[in-house]
Structure 1
């Protein structure tokens, strides 16, 4: 009988995905049974390959056109019987990280942490614990107590505005491109920032950089 911890790894960047897979399989206690390149393929792999742990980025395109995998994870984490979920991310907004924990993810690993954090995360969540890596923990600080968590899912229109803004277009140019008023585009940008817990232009640029849009 195979007693190894079965894992599915999901990330839309091949280098990251394969790097995690290769690293994990150095540990004789684990076996990567499948990998996924986006949220839709992750859902398919979970249905097709029994596993104890899912390790996933959240920056992948969502199944129904969402800008990330959070909507899928929100639904998935509600299931009574499910694999443990570890999120790997570059996101450095404490509100977003808090929101992910409040959704019910079992582990948070900042991609800037050493790979050994993944091995520790796997063992701790399989044993029923919750794991937060060093960088993620430093970002959180007292946020679990003091800040309302947000794990934001942007609307298709908000995400469209974010993408164009990240490309360097002004609000006026975005409004012309999308055939919307400048006021509407500005409102959509502010709404997206509130959902993500971003309070300033600097935090917005940092967030766009973290998810690879800048």
Structure 2
């Protein structure tokens, strides 16, 4: 029997995590060797459990309190040797998806696409090709060639300001909560929006909806 493709799956939504694992276990090539529900757990597993592929949500809280798991994935892609990495996400933002591919992530799967995209990613990447599922491919194809690719990670403070702003708090209220000036908090908000590659309020609202904050 051919050697199984060992896979680790990470997602902070239990239903999504269970669904991905259940589908991958139907693929006779694949053995799901471990699962994680946050980036810290994923970091531990990658260090301790040999695997060939990592399927990771990028919206999970980061290892050091960052807004997402991208900072960890940036470190993981620089390791030698390392598993193939497939980002699994609801974020429909072309600059961020392009940024992930530029980092060295081999595949991007939009959660709105069908589960067979997971197996298709394994096939493509095992054959030396990068992979983007249908929705991700459409977004990337529509992005102008000159647009900068971004895969931003917010610091713990930037993320907290961003989260409170998304909850409806005004800048002045957030400033009072942290004991900072309105100008400082506004600067942190602008920095967060810039790191995420968002250009306007419409894109900001869409992003907040995609990550479940609005």
Q: What is the TM-score when the length of structure 1 is the normalising length?
A: 0.96
> Partner of 2:109: helix, strand, or coil?
strand
What is the root-mean-square deviation of aligned Cα atoms in Å?
A: 1.3
* Matched residue, 1:137: 137
The 5 A counterparts of 1:1-150 are 3-143=3-143, 145-150=145-150
Q: What is the TM-score when the length of structure 2 is the normalising length?
A: 0.96
Residue 53 of structure 1 and its aligned partner are, at CA, apart by 0.5
Structure 2 unaligned residues grouped into runs of 5+ = none
> Partner of 1:35: helix, strand, or coil?
strand
* Matched residue, 1:208: 208
Structure 1 unaligned residues grouped into runs of 5+ = none
Residue deviations 1:127-175, cap 9 Å, x none?
Answer: 2210001100111125372211111011222111111011111112211
**Comparing 145-154 and 83-92, the one that deviates more:** 145-154
Residue deviations 1:52-110, cap 9 Å, x none?
Answer: 10000011111112111111110110123111000000111111111101100000000
**Comparing 166-175 and 27-36, the one that deviates more:** 166-175
Residue 208 of structure 1 and its aligned partner are, at CA, apart by 1.3
Distance 1:144 1:133, change over 3 A: farther
Residue 50 of structure 1 and its aligned partner are, at CA, apart by 1.1
The answer to whether the 8 Å contact 2:64/2:156 transfers is no
The answer to whether the 8 Å contact 1:165/1:171 transfers is yes
> Partner of 1:34: helix, strand, or coil?
strand
Runs of 4+ with deviation above 4 angstroms: none
Partners in 2 of 1:140 and 1:182 — Cα distance?
A: 37
- The number of residues matched between the two structures is 214
> Partner of 2:118: helix, strand, or coil?
helix
